[in-house]
Amino acid sequence: MRANGRNEDRIRPITITTQVNKYAEGSVLIEMGDTKVICTATVEEKVPPFLKGQGKGWVTAEYSMLPRATGTRNQREAARGKLTGRTMEIQRLIGRALRSVVNLQALGERSITLDCDVIQADGGTRTASITGAFVALVYAVDRIAVQHKLPVFPITDYLAAVSVGIVGGTPLLDLCYEEDSKAAVDMNVVMTGSGEFVELQGTGEERPFSRSELNRLLELGESGVLELIEAQRRALGALELKIGSNRPSREA
Amino acid sequence: MRANGRNEDRIRPITITTQVNKYAEGSVLIEMGDTKVICTATVEEKVPPFLKGQGKGWVTAEYSMLPRATGTRNQREAARGKLTGRTMEIQRLIGRALRSVVNLQALGERSITLDCDVIQADGGTRTASITGAFVALVYAVDRIAVQHKLPVFPITDYLAAVSVGIVGGTPLLDLCYEEDSKAAVDMNVVMTGSGEFVELQGTGEERPFSRSELNRLLELGESGVLELIEAQRRALGALELKIGSNRPSREA
Amino acid sequence: MRANGRNEDRIRPITITTQVNKYAEGSVLIEMGDTKVICTATVEEKVPPFLKGQGKGWVTAEYSMLPRATGTRNQREAARGKLTGRTMEIQRLIGRALRSVVNLQALGERSITLDCDVIQADGGTRTASITGAFVALVYAVDRIAVQHKLPVFPITDYLAAVSVGIVGGTPLLDLCYEEDSKAAVDMNVVMTGSGEFVELQGTGEERPFSRSELNRLLELGESGVLELIEAQRRALGALELKIGSNRPSREA
Amino acid sequence: MRANGRNEDRIRPITITTQVNKYAEGSVLIEMGDTKVICTATVEEKVPPFLKGQGKGWVTAEYSMLPRATGTRNQREAARGKLTGRTMEIQRLIGRALRSVVNLQALGERSITLDCDVIQADGGTRTASITGAFVALVYAVDRIAVQHKLPVFPITDYLAAVSVGIVGGTPLLDLCYEEDSKAAVDMNVVMTGSGEFVELQGTGEERPFSRSELNRLLELGESGVLELIEAQRRALGALELKIGSNRPSREA
Amino acid sequence: MRANGRNEDRIRPITITTQVNKYAEGSVLIEMGDTKVICTATVEEKVPPFLKGQGKGWVTAEYSMLPRATGTRNQREAARGKLTGRTMEIQRLIGRALRSVVNLQALGERSITLDCDVIQADGGTRTASITGAFVALVYAVDRIAVQHKLPVFPITDYLAAVSVGIVGGTPLLDLCYEEDSKAAVDMNVVMTGSGEFVELQGTGEERPFSRSELNRLLELGESGVLELIEAQRRALGALELKIGSNRPSREA
Amino acid sequence: MRANGRNEDRIRPITITTQVNKYAEGSVLIEMGDTKVICTATVEEKVPPFLKGQGKGWVTAEYSMLPRATGTRNQREAARGKLTGRTMEIQRLIGRALRSVVNLQALGERSITLDCDVIQADGGTRTASITGAFVALVYAVDRIAVQHKLPVFPITDYLAAVSVGIVGGTPLLDLCYEEDSKAAVDMNVVMTGSGEFVELQGTGEERPFSRSELNRLLELGESGVLELIEAQRRALGALELKIGSNRPSREA
C-alpha cells in the first residue's frame, strides 16, 4: 500500500498557485504532495548570441534546490563554485521540453528564462518543475502577446510531465521520494496536450526492463499527464483558450 | 509621505510563520512588507576543523536570493561560479550576529547552519534574515536541548535587526527598496533583547553624517528592534520563556 | 537515400580494435563509420567514500572530445575551467549503463574508470562510447577475475547502445552527424544481450512523437543493438564465454 | 599597560612615504606601528559599463595581504582561485569610503583604482589602507586635474580611518593585532576632515555593547582620525590646499 | 645498455602519419617509440584582440594527455577545473617554438591553433608534440597559401625538437620515460633546419651540470633534430620544397 | 649605449636588505636597478603528501606581482580566479632551482615556502627572485639548523640567477624591461657558486641563435652570477661560512 492510501495509478494532490511573485512576468508555486517548486518566468528583449538577427526567440530554464529542501542539507552549488551534473541535466531537460511547445518564430527576438527553485523536495522535482514552469511561461507569453500585439499566440500546445517507475515489481505513477529511492526502474514522461511524447527518459536503476513493462509505464504516465493538464487549465483560467489555437501542422 | 501611509518611525507589517519546512530542525517564513525570506536551521553533529575537540559548538549562516526576487533578474551565483562580495558580506554578518546570543559552550560540539533564502526582495533582506533566522535557530536549539537534555538553554538573549536611513533629509525606520535606493545615509542595526548593540553598520552613501543624525537613527533602530522582538515572541509561543533564562553575566 | 547507399535499418561499418593502450587494464578503439572513440579501463583498488567498507565495487565513466573531433574546433573544457552540461549528462549515462550489467558485489571493493575520448565525431559518440567501453570493461574485469580468483565473473550480460531517429519523416537507425542535425526526433537506446532496456532517452527535437513512432524506433534500436553485440563478441574472443554465466535472477 | 607604554587614547607612530612607485599615478607606503601597506593609484581613461556615457568617473579599491604579512603564512587567494569573504568586504569598504569624498562628476569619465597591498600586518590593516589610499588618490587626482585642466578639484574633503575597541573592559584607540584578538567589541570609524562619519562598523565580538560604550568609542575614533588627517596634510605638502576648496553644500 | 639495444646517440623509431583527421586543416599522428601524439591544426579567420588590425597572423598551441596515457591514471584537467603548471608551461613552449619559423606578416590576419593530444606517453611528449605539430602546421599553412594565393609561403624553416639528458653519468639522446625518471640532467632542444637554436631548456634535476656536459648534450640534440627533420621531409612529400624558400635574412 | 651608461657586461646596482619582515623565518628585499622583490621564507613542520614518512624535506616557491608593479596595471590573479601560465612557469622554476642546492635529507621532514612578491618590475624579476630567495632561504635554514641542532648544514652551494640576451645584435648582461622588450634572444641562467648550471632557459624570441652566440651569452651570464654571489655573501654576513661546508660529492 502507498502512503496516504494512494492507488498505483494515482498522482498526488496537486495545487498550482499563480502569480506568487510581484516582479516576475509569470510565476507559479506548484505543489505535488510535499514537493514544492517556485517557477518564475523572466522576459528579456534580447536573445543569446547564436540566435541574433534571426527574428526568433528563445526559452531556457534554470533549476536549483534550496539547501534544506531535502532530508539532509546539501551544499549550495554557488559555494561549491559549480553546478552538479544532475542540475545541468535537469535544466537542459526543462528548457528543451518547454521549447517544444513554443513557436519561437511567433515569439519574436526575445527570450524567456524559467527559474525553477525547489523549496521542498519529495520526489518528482524535475517533472513538477516542467508542469509548473509551463504555466508561468504561458502567463509571461500572454503579457508579451498583449503588449506587442502578436498576431499568433506562440504557445502551440499544453505540456506536462510526470514520473513513473517499478517498485517492488509494481508499476507506479508519480513516485514520492521514498518510492523513488527503492525503484528498480525509473522513467520521466513529458507529453503534450495532444497525447504525444516530447521527452522520454527511462533508466533501469536496479535491473533492465522489458518492452511490456515499458508499455505499462507509458500508460500510467499518459494518464498522469492528462490529470496534470487539467490542473494547468484550471490555473490558467481565461488564458486557457489561447493555447494551441494556432497549432502548426506536422512537418519533418 | 511613505508608501501605504506609513509614518517615519514605523516598521512594515511583519509576519513570521514557523515550521514551514518538513525536514529542517527549525524553519521560518518571515515577511516584512513585500520582503520574504525562508530561513531554515540545520543541525549537524560535528563542528568545523578549527573547533574540533574543544567541546564548543558553532553557528553559521548562508544567504542567497532567488534570481527573480528583484525587479530585474540576477544571474545565479552558482552559474557565475562564485559568490559576490555582497553575499559574502551579508552571510558573515548574519552568522556573527547570531553567534553573539548563543552560548556555544552550552550548545556542545555540534553546528547549526542557518540558510536564508530570499524569495522576494523589497529592501531590508539582510535584517529580515537575521530576525527570521533567530526564530528558526531557537526552534533548532530547543530540539537539541530536549533531545540531549542540555542543562543550560544555549540562547542567551533575543536578537533582531532593522535598517534605518536618511531619505530626502528625513531619518526613516525600515526602508523599502525604493527608499533605500534614494537614501543618503543607510544603517543596519542589530540589537539584543536587553537593548544593546551587537552590530552597527552605517554608511554615508551620498554624504557623510553627523553625530546628531547618528543618534536619531539609533533611536529609530532601537524602537524598530523592540517591535520585531515582540513579533518573535509571538512566533516562538511556549519557547519564549526559555530564552535568556541563563544569560551570562558581563565579562570583558 | 543515405550516404554510402546505406538502408534505413542498417548500422554503419563497425570496427573494435582491442588493447590499443600499453598501460590500461582494458582498452579499445571503436570506429562506427567516421566516429572514433578510444575507451580505456583503469582499475583502482579503492572505492569512492560513499561505498567504503561495504565490500562492493564501483564503475564510473568520463567522456571528452578532442577539440578538433568536429567540423569546427571546440574550446577545451579544461581551458573553460568546467565541464559542459552535455559532457556531464553523457558521462553519467555511460557510467549508469555500464553499472547495470556489473555485479558490484562480485567485483569486490575496487573501482573501474572508463575513459571515453572521442578522437573524431560523426554522430553517435555517446552510444559508441557505451558499446566500446563495455568491451574495455570486460578485459579489465577479466584481469581482476584471474588475478584475484573471483568465484563469480562480475559481468552479468552484454550491453550495447545505438541511436535512432526520425529524419524527413523516416525512422532511421544509427544516425551520422548530418542526419542527426536534421532529425525531428532523436533517441538513444541502451540494451542488454537478453533484449531488455537499460536506458531509453527520446527527445522530440523538432516536434513530439506518437506511440506508434516510438514503437518503430524501438524496433530499429533493438536490431542495431543485436548487431553491435555480435561485433563485441568477435572483439572479445575467448572472453566471450564468461559473460552472463552467472546472471542473477530477476528481483525488485 | 599597552605595548610601548602607549596610552589608551593614543595612535601608534605613523609614517606616510609618498610616491614610492615609479609607475603609479599616485603611491604611498603607510606605516602605523608594524602595520605596513603599499597603496597605489592607477588612472584609466574609461569607466565600468554601468557608468558609460554619463560623464561621471569612478573610484574603486582592491585589497590583499602578502602571504607572510602575518605570524603564520596564509594561502594566496590566487592559488585558492577566489577571494575570501573578508577581502571582498574590506575592498568594498575602502572603495565606498573613498568615493564619499570624490566629486565623481568633476572627475570626468575616468576611473581610479586604489591597490592596497599589506606588506606586514599588525592590526588595523583596513583602516590604514583607507588612510594611505586617500593620499595616493589625491596625488593621482592632482595629476588628472593639472593635465586636463579640471575647473573643480574633485576631492571634496579629507578622509581617514581608525579602529577602536574594548579590551579587558577598557576602550582603546588604534588596536594592534594582539589587542584586536582579545577585543570584546571592535569598531572601525571612517571620518571626513569636517568631523562627520562616512562609515561606522561596530561589532560585539564577545558581547553586545551599550549606547554609552558606543559614545566613548566614537570619541576615541574622532580624536584618532584628526591626528591621522594631520599626518596626511604633511604627506601631501603643497597639494594640501587644494582639498575641499570646492566642497559641495549639503543635500539629501 | 638501453631498451631494445638502442645506442646512446640514437633516437627511437619514428613514424609520422599525416592527415589522420577528416575535419582538421592539418593533422598528424606522431609516434616516437611508445609515445604517441595526435596533432591537429585549426585555421580561423580571426586573430586574438591584441593583434587586431595589424595585418599579422598568430600561431598558438594547446597540449593535453588522455587520462590513461600514462602508467597510472591522471585526473582530467577539465575535472580539476584548471590547467596544471606543467601543461601551461608545455603549451607556451610549443606555441613559441612554432611561431619562430612562421612569417606572421605573410600569414595574414588569421590564426592557427595546434592541438597536441597525447594518446600514449613514454617520455618526450613535449618534443614529439613540437615535431609533429610542425608537420600539421605546414599542411594547414599550405591550404591557406593555395586558397588565398599568398605571394610568400609563410613557413621560413624546418623545426623539430628532442630531449637529451644525463643518466647514470652517460649523456643520452631521446629519453624514454624510464630513463627520464632517473636522469640527473634533463634538456629539451628545439632547433631549426639551418641548425640554430630556437629554445633550450636544461635543468639539473639531481645535480648541476658543467659547460662540457652542456656541450655534449647539445651535440646529441643537434644530431637528433637532424634525423627528425628528415622524417618530417618524408611526411611532407611535395610540400617539402615550399619551406624556407623565402627565409628572411637575419635581423635584430 | 645602455641606460645610465652601463656597459654590455655589467649588472645593474644591486642591494639586498635582509630580515625586512618581523614574522618570516627569513626575509629579503632585493633591488636590481628598479626591480624590487620581497622574498620571505616560511618554515612549516610538515611536508606535502607525496613526501610523507620519508624523512626528507621540501622547498617550494610562489611568485606574484603587485598589480601596479608595471607600467600599466595588471589584473590580480586572485580576481581572475586563476594563475597565469607565466606565473606557474616562474614559480616552478624558482622552486626547482632552490631545491638543487638544498640537501633535503639533511633538512628533515619540514618544508620551506619562498614567497617572491614583485613590488616594482623593470626586467629580470624571475632571476632577482631566485637570487633574493636564496638569501632568505639560508636565513630560514640557519634558524632550523640551530634550533634542531642539525648535524649537517642543508645548503650545499650558493645559487644565483641573471638574464642575458641579444639586443640590436649585441649580447647584453642583465636586461632591463626596455631592453628585454626589444631582445631578439633572451636567456635566463641559474648557476651555483661552483660555476655549474642549474637551469638554462634560452628562447629565440625574434630569431633563432647560433652555437657561438650561445657561448657568448653563457660567458656573460657566468660573470653576472659571480657578482651576484658576492652580493649574497655580503648580505649573509656570518652565515656565509656555513654554506657548502658539506657539499656532497658528485653522483649520477
Give the Å distances, CA to CA, from C84 to C38, C76, C123. 20, 10, 18
F82 contacts E251? CB cut-off 8 A: no
Give the Å distances, CA to CA, from B182 to B4, B88, B179, D106, E43. 18, 24, 5, 21, 53
Annotated ligand binding at D86? The verdict is yes
Residue C225 has pLDDT above 80, yes or no: yes
CATH 1.20.120.1200 for domain E14-70+86-242: no
Write down the pLDDT at residue D205: 83
- Judged by a CB distance cut-off of 8 A, whether residue C86 touches chain E is no
HSE-CB at E141 with a 13 A cutoff on CA atoms is 32
Residue B249 has pLDDT above 70, yes or no: no
Q: Which chains neighbour E (Cβ–Cβ under 8 Å, 3 or more pairs)?
A: C, F
Residue of B nearest to A117 (CA): B66
Q: Distance between CA F177 and CA B249 in Å, rounded?
A: 64
Angle between helices B85-99 and D85-99 (to 10 degrees): 110
Nearest to F76 among D64, D69, D70 (CB): D64
Secondary structure class of C129 (helix, strand, coil)? helix
Write down the pLDDT at residue E248: 46
Segment F143-156 shows an average pLDDT of 96
Nearest to A23 among B42, B68, B83 (CB): B68
Write down the pLDDT at residue A249: 47
Nearest to B88 among D85, D166, D211 (CB): D85
- Judged by a CB distance cut-off of 8 A, whether residue A88 touches chain C is yes
Nearest to C248 by CA among C110, C152, C150: C152
Q: What percent of chain F lies above the pLDDT cut of 70? A: 96
Higher pLDDT among residues A213 and D207, named by residue: A213
Residues of chain F contacting D82 with CB distance shorter than 8 Å: 78, 81
Residues of chain A contacting C88 with CB distance shorter than 8 Å: 84-85, 88-89
Q: How many contacts, defined by CB atoms under 8 Å, are there between B and D? A: 117
Nearest to F3 by CA among F214, F182, F156, F154: F182
Binding-site residues of E, in ranges, read 86, 124-126
Identify the DSSP state of B68. T
B66 contacts A40? CB cut-off 8 A: yes
Segment E102-120 shows an average pLDDT of 97
Q: Distance between CA B124 and CA B186 in Å, rounded?
A: 11
- Judged by a CB distance cut-off of 8 A, whether residue B70 touches chain A is yes
Position E62 confidence tier, pLDDT thresholds 50, 70, 90: very high
E67 contacts C62? CB cut-off 8 A: yes
- Judged by a CB distance cut-off of 8 A, whether residue F201 touches chain E is yes
The grid coordinates of residue B57 equal 559548538
Segment A40-46 shows an average pLDDT of 97
Position B112 confidence tier, pLDDT thresholds 50, 70, 90: very high
Residue of D nearest to B169 (CA): D252
Residue A251 has pLDDT above 50, yes or no: no
Identify the DSSP state of C3. G
E199 contacts F203? CB cut-off 8 A: yes
Residues of chain B contacting D206 with CB distance shorter than 8 Å: 251-252
- Judged by a CB distance cut-off of 8 A, whether residue E168 touches chain F is yes
Write down the pLDDT at residue A116: 98
Angle between helices D211-236 and B211-236 (to 10 degrees): 140
Write down the pLDDT at residue B82: 87
Residue D248 has pLDDT above 60, yes or no: no
Residue F98 has pLDDT above 60, yes or no: yes
Annotated ligand binding at C110? The verdict is no
Write down the pLDDT at residue C245: 61
Other Cβ atoms closer than 10 A to B242: 16
Sheet containing D159-167: which strands, arranged edge to edge? B170-173, B159-167, B185-192, B197-203, D197-203, D185-192, D159-167, D170-173
Q: How many contacts, defined by CB atoms under 8 Å, are there between A and B? A: 86
Q: What is the pLDDT of residues A120-147, one digit of tens each?
A: 999 999 999 999 999 999 999 999 999 9
Nearest to B66 among A77, A87, A115 (CB): A115
- Judged by a CB distance cut-off of 8 A, whether residue F38 touches chain D is yes
Shortest distance between the Cα of C25 and any Cα of chain E, in A, equals 10
A197 contacts C214? CB cut-off 8 A: yes
Q: Where are the alpha helices (H) located in A100-210, listed in sequence order? A: 104-107, 125-147, 177-182
Segment F88-107 shows an average pLDDT of 96
F201 contacts E208? CB cut-off 8 A: no
Segment E42-46 shows an average pLDDT of 97
Q: What is the pLDDT of residues A164-210, one digit of tens each?
A: 999 999 999 999 999 999 999 999 999 999 999 999 999 998 899 99
Write down the pLDDT at residue F206: 86
Annotated ligand binding at D125? The verdict is yes
Q: What is the pLDDT of residues A55-105, one digit of tens each?
A: 999 999 999 999 999 999 999 999 988 899 999 999 999 999 999 999 999
C196 contacts A209? CB cut-off 8 A: yes
Residue C90 has pLDDT above 60, yes or no: yes
Interface test with F, best of E60, E188, E201, E212 (most F CBs within 10 A): E201
Write down the pLDDT at residue B245: 61
Interface test with E, best of C45, C68, C91, C111 (most E CBs within 10 A): C68
Segment B124-150 shows an average pLDDT of 97
Percent helix, strand and coil across chain C, each to the nearest 5:
35, 30, 35
HSE-CB at C31 with a 13 A cutoff on CA atoms is 8
The grid coordinates of residue F91 equal 614559480
Secondary structure class of F110 (helix, strand, coil)? coil
A191 contacts C208? CB cut-off 8 A: yes
Residue D10 has pLDDT above 70, yes or no: yes
E66 contacts C78? CB cut-off 8 A: no
Residues of chain C contacting A251 with CB distance shorter than 8 Å: 184, 206-207
Q: What is the pLDDT of residues B43-53, one digit of tens each?
A: 999 999 999 99
Shortest distance between the Cα of F19 and any Cα of chain E, in A, equals 29
Position B252 confidence tier, pLDDT thresholds 50, 70, 90: very low
Residue B99 has pLDDT above 50, yes or no: yes
D168 contacts B252? CB cut-off 8 A: yes
- pTM given for the model: 0.90
Shortest distance between the Cα of E80 and any Cα of chain C, in A, equals 8
Q: What is the pLDDT of residues A7-35, one digit of tens each?
A: 999 999 999 999 999 999 999 999 999 99
Q: Distance between CA B64 and CA E16 in Å, rounded?
A: 56
Nearest to A117 by CA among A103, A99, A132, A102: A132
Q: Distance between CA E111 and CA E117 in Å, rounded?
A: 19
Write down the pLDDT at residue F245: 60
E68 contacts C115? CB cut-off 8 A: yes
Residue C223 has pLDDT above 70, yes or no: yes
Q: Distance between CA C110 and CA A222 in Å, rounded?
A: 42
Matching residue, cell 601524439? E37
B194 contacts D214? CB cut-off 8 A: no
- Judged by a CB distance cut-off of 8 A, whether residue E80 touches chain F is no
Residue of C nearest to A203 (CA): C199
Q: What is the pLDDT of residues B185-234, one digit of tens each?
A: 999 999 999 999 999 999 998 889 999 999 999 999 999 999 999 999 99
Residues of chain C contacting A61 with CB distance shorter than 8 Å: none
